Each structure stands twice: as structure tokens, then as C-alpha cells.
Structure 1
Amino acid sequence: MLLNAYLTFDGNCREAFEFYQRTLGGEIVAMFTYAEAPDDEQISVTSREMIMHARLVVDGHVLMGSDVSPDCPAPFEGIKGISLTLGVDTPEEAERLFQALSDNATIQMPMEETFWAKRFGMLTDRFGVAWMVNCEKEA
């Protein structure tokens, strides 16, 4: 079984996934707009260039997402109740990732040593996605 995160955005999915690719590495293997859907004549002009599905693969791990179309009956209410966690091997990699994700972010917990980790930090990035960056201590 695979368990993957699927994020929803308010019109900035393309920007977010391009940022995540630059920050995390990997490859965007899919990026489809609503205009590319087979029944695109039902899509409003405002939704046509929004992202219907994006897929980023980083070291075999998959992150997916889309924009919530204004045509959707339920309005976008933000990303709630989830944090994406990056587990890394070195404190230097933890610092690098945290610094990159921190661009225009809200820091909940600065990157620091904890009783369980060499380095740990929490933030919500400029796209509203919560992240935890963790470099655990050896057991």
C-alpha cells in the first residue's frame, strides 16, 4: 500500500509545486490544467488555467495536489489539520530545507535541537502548507 499526501490550493498550485521541486528536488511528472480535461467546455474561463492535478516525485515519494476550481460548489477553506514531515539524515540538510521553506513563511518553531532530534523545526509556508523538518538523534 502507498499513502500519499494530496494538497489543495487556491489558484497557486503551479507556483507551489515549482517551489517544492526547487526546494526538495525530484521531478514534476504531471501538471494538468482544467482546460486539458476531456469535458473542458464545462469549465469556466477563470478555471481553465488552474491546475487540476499535479504530481511531484522525490526519491520515490509522491506529493500530489490541485487548485480548487471556482466552479466547485464548496469554497476553498485552506489546508487544515495536517503537516508534511521531512525526515533527513544530517543537521545541515535539515537547516537547508527549513531555510528554503521559510521564504515568506510563518515559523511555529525555529530550527533547533530537541530531546529527540539533532534539528527540528515547524513552519507554515507561503502557500499555507504546514511542514515539520526533522533530523532525529540516533537511538
Structure 2
Amino acid sequence: MQLNHYLNFQGETEAAFNFYKSVFGGEFSNLTRYGEMPSEQGSTLSETDKNLILHVSLPINAFMELMGSDTTEQFCAENNAALNKGNNHYISINLHAHEQHKAKRLFDALSVNAQIEMPLEKTFWGALYGALTDQFGIKWMVNCQLEAM
């Protein structure tokens, strides 16, 4: 299991991560834009939103990646959530395919008295994924990668 920091922004992810890249060095291991999402995901995106960052990963060292994304107004509206500087940070639990039971156990345990943002379910990027804010206000993501990206 690996714990990573996941940052959300409103249209500033690319600038922020280019800055972090200049600070920490290295190259992005993944950079995906909203426009690359499968159309069956049900979202109608503006041309501006299509260029926003859906997911970016910047390896910091052998044990940690800094990850992030832009949160669209549509996502905030659909999930009745507002993104403000200060609540834009998640702890991301990253697991391997053989750890699906652990992903479910951790998500279920963290879900006690939590606000579920997205239930743990299979995603278009080939993972079991879920997000929540626990009973203490800490934001968590559980991602169990099932297929190669």
C-alpha cells in the first residue's frame, strides 16, 4: 500500500504541477485531460473544461507521488460540494489488483459516519475507486488499480 497526497484545483492544476515539477524535478508519470474521458461517462464538457487536467502524477521519490486534478463546476454541482483553497487535499490510498479485498475493507472502515463522495466501484480507468470525507473531515481516496492504464 502507498499513501499519496492528492490535490484538487479549479483550473490551476497545470500551472501548479508545472511549478511543483520545477521544484522537485522529474517528469509526469501520467497527465490526462477531461477531453480524453470516454464519452459514455455522461458528462457534457465545454471546450474549456475538456482542456482541464483530469489526473496528473508527479513522482517525488521511489515512495511518493504528488497527484492532482481540476475539479469542474459541473462535478461540484453534481456532488453538492464546493472546492475552496484549504479543502482541496486528499490522502490517496493506492493498492494493486491483488489487494481488492483490502481496498473494500479500508473504504468500508473509513466510511463509518462519513460523507461518501463516490462509492467504491469500477471506473473507466480500470480501477476500483471511491472517495469520501471521514467523520473527522479528512478527505480520502481509495484506488485499487485492476488494469494497466
TM-score by length of 1: 0.53
Q: Which residue of 2 aligns with 1:128?
A: none
- Structure 1 unaligned segments of length 5 or more: list them: 83-139
Equivalent pairs, count: 82
Instruction: Name the CA distance, whole Å, in 2 between partners of 1:28 and 1:15.
Output: 13
**SS where residue 14 of structure 1 aligns?**
helix
- Structure 2 unaligned segments of length 5 or more: list them: 90-149
Q: Which residue of 1 aligns with 2:52?
A: 50
Matches within 5 A, 1:36-115: 36-39=36-39, 42-45=43-46, 46-60=48-62, 61-72=64-75, 73=77, 74-80=81-87
**SS where residue 84 of structure 2 aligns?**
coil
CA drift at 1:80: 3.3
Asked if the contact 1:26–1:59 (Cα under 8 Å) also holds between the matched residues in 2, the reply is: no
**SS where residue 58 of structure 2 aligns?**
strand
Q: What RMSD in Å do the two structures reach over aligned CA positions?
A: 2.0
Instruction: Name the CA distance, whole Å, in 2 between partners of 1:53 and 1:22.
Output: 18
Kindly name which structure, 1 or 2, has the bigger radius of gyration based on alpha carbons: 1
- Note the alpha carbon deviations across 1:43-99, whole angstroms, 9 max, x for none: 3213111111000012222010000112112232223396xxxxxxxxxxxxxxxxx
- Using the aligned pairs only, state the percent identity: 33
